[in-house]
């Protein structure tokens, strides 16, 4: 694996040097059209953070764009020799993370002002494994703001089996939890499986209903193909070793929720 590592001088990503370090992990593939907005949204966060960008090879690499932020952000840029996929790219970032907390952020999404600070306060107050936020759907080109997807104040394992209501890009997680629950099964919903596996060990995770996350409706995203997404959800339920009856029970809940989500 080839590595390109940029500035190791922590600069203007934070306004409060006393806050714990947050490692923002960004898996990248064909994201030159989006990465500027993603990185700019980290600049406005009032926390102490580093960025770990892990990029799969493509025709349009983000090297020049990422390097242009080196005087404003602490960035480690990893370029893979072969395509690894988002799950392994997040795992690479998790292994390299220096922060007490990890924030996941996809390269085509971006954060609103105050997101990480609000999450930092909540995770420390609740002392839970991770926290998440609401999101606002955004058109493919980022020009139109769409529906706000609300989230509940708390979620447990049984509730989450009915459907993944936790956007990956909204999550702030304790680093030690992430290191002991790396993502896998990229052909399924790898982030969803991570949340479920963590909730098998912890009672609750907590959310902020504010739509701090701006989530782009990418044309090629896995969640945009409803049939494929349904089969992937079924695969997750079976991977969690539920019985056929249990899997069918939770799949029906998932189907109903999925139908209601976008109407």
Q: What is the CATH number of the domain that holds 228?
A: 3.90.550.10
Whose tokens are 């782009």? That residue is 216
Distance, CA of 101 to CA of 94 (rounded, Å)? 10
**Number of compact structural domains in the chain:** 1
Higher-confidence position of 9 and 3: 3
- CB neighbours of residue 139 within 10 Å: 11
What pLDDT is recorded for position 10? 33
What residues contact 196, with CB distance under 8 A and at least 6 apart?
A: 157, 160, 161, 236, 240
CB 34 within 8 A of CB 111: no
Token digits of residue 121: 């306060």
Q: What pLDDT is attached to residue 229?
A: 82
Cβ atoms of residues 180 and 102 within 8 Å: no
Give yes or no for residue 44 having a pLDDT over 80.
yes
Q: How far is CA 14 from CA 42, 105, 120, in A?
A: 9, 17, 13
Q: What distance in Å separates the CA atoms of residue 179 and residue 71, rounded to the nearest whole number?
A: 29
Confidence band for 219, pLDDT divided at 50, 70 and 90 = low
The mean per-residue pLDDT over the stretch 202-222 comes to: 86
Domain residue limits at 231: 2-261
Give the pLDDT score at 253: 80
Q: Is 155 helix (H, G, I), strand (E, B) or coil?
A: strand
Confidence of residue 63 (pLDDT cuts 50, 70, 90): very high
Q: Rounded to whole angstroms, how far apart are CA atoms 180 and 154?
A: 22
Residue 263 has pLDDT above 90, yes or no: no
- pLDDT mean across residues, the chain: 88
Output 188 or 132, whichever has higher pLDDT: 132
């Amino acid at each position: 694996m080839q590595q390109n590592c940029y500035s190791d001088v922590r600069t203007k990503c934070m306004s409060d040097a006393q806050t714990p370090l947050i490692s923002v992990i960004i898996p990248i593939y064909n994201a030159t059209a989006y990465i500027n907005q993603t990185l700019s949204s980290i600049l406005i966060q009032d926390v102490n953070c580093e960025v770990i960008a892990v990029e799969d090879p493509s025709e349009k690499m983000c090297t020049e764009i990422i390097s242009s932020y080196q005087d404003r952000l602490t960035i480690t840029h990893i370029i893979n020799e072969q395509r690894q996929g988002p799950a392994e790219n997040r795992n690479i970032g998790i292994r390299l993370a220096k922060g007490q907390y990890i924030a996941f952020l996809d390269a085509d999404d971006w954060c609103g002002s105050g997101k990480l600070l609000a999450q930092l306060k909540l995770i420390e107050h609740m002392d839970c494994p991770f926290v998440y936020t609401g999101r606002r759907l955004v058109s493919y080109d980022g020009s139109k703001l769409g529906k706000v997807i609300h989230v509940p104040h708390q979620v447990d394992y049984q509730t989450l089996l009915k459907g993944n209501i936790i956007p990956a890009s909204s999550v702030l997680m304790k680093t030690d939890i992430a290191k002991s629950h790396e993502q896998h099964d990229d052909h399924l919903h790898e982030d969803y499986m991570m949340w479920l596996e963590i909730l098998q060990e912890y009672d609750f995770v907590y959310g902020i209903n504010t739509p701090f996350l701006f989530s782009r409706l990418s044309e090629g995203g896995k969640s945009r193909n409803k049939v494929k997404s349904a089969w992937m959800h079924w695969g997750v339920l079976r991977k969690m070793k539920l019985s056929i009856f249990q899997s069918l029970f939770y799949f029906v809940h998932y189907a109903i929720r999925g139908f209601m989500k976008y109407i």
